[in-house]
A and B are shown apart, each in its own frame.
Chain A
């Protein structure tokens, strides 16, 4: 079972750079062809100062530049074989573009046991700010922990 006392605990903050080469690798993997994401001129015409990131890329940036991408597992006392991604939410407050340096500040927001303790839902909320101190986004991840039930 997951220790409920970890609610409110902050995880290590992550500083991530929006690098054009890594972003291109992501776009090509997804087959992204939208000019707003691939062409600097089209991005400018859409109102961006530089090429923006696709809507889920914030999640990737945090994992790529984290010293321990799975630190939340240690806090939850779980391992990779017993977790699934339950839900994911992004709230967009300001543009995130190539050249930005972002700071991710994750914290454990809630822990809820389900199905008589067979599973636990852990919610991790992450505030994202850019190099100008602008709060650009919030990410909310719900992790499902499949608890080892005693035989």
Chain B
């Protein structure tokens, strides 16, 4: 069972932590098809260069999907009330992502007692790619 259901939470607790393998061109091609986001900038090097980028780069929503998976590994899916991110920087090809979430505060949401997590996704250099938050019922 998910760890959040088994113990008392406190502000500052790290409840989300997951690492993902390096992002390959193949992975971005698969995500293009699987997500319905056919923007060529993520899979077609010619198009990316014409737009002024040195190479293709990850879909922001691919990175958010990784963060979402890390989140629901820790929080039972039916308890999730909201999930939001800012796309802070472009995630480059080959990036190895680490997703983390800490308890930021406890809040009341539609009459439910909830915890708000502060979320980040960083690459192998420690650079923040996504910063966000999630609210879940406790």
Q: Is B39 an interface residue (CB 8 A)?
A: yes
Annotate A1-43 by CB proximity to B: 1 below 8 A, 0 otherwise. 0000000000000000000001001101111101011000000
Q: How far is the CA of A104 from the CA of B34 in the complex (A)?
A: 19
From A78-86, A112-120, A126-134, give the one contacting chain B: A78-86
Q: Is B71 an interface residue (CB 8 A)?
A: yes
Q: How far is the CA of A47 from the CA of B36 in the complex (A)?
A: 28
Question: What is the number of contacts between chain A and chain B, taking CB atoms within 8 Å?
Answer: 117
Q: Which residues of A contact B38 (CB under 8 A)?
A: 63, 69
| A-B CB contact pairs (8 Å), 6 listed | A22-B34, A30-B31, A82-B51, A85-B87, A91-B81, A140-B84
Q: How large is the interface on A (under 10, 10 to 19, 20 to 34, 35 or more residues)?
A: 35 or more
Q: How large is the interface on B (under 10, 10 to 19, 20 to 34, 35 or more residues)?
A: 35 or more
What residues make up the interface of B, taking CB atoms closer than 8 Å to A? 20, 27, 30-31, 33-41, 47, 50-52, 59-61, 64-66, 68-69, 71-73, 76-78, 80-87, 90
Does B72 contact A88, Cβ atoms closer than 8 Å? no
Q: How far is the CA of A65 from the CA of B71 in the complex (A)?
A: 26
Q: Which residues of B contact A140 (CB under 8 A)?
A: 84
Q: How far is the CA of A31 from the CA of B66 in the complex (A)?
A: 9
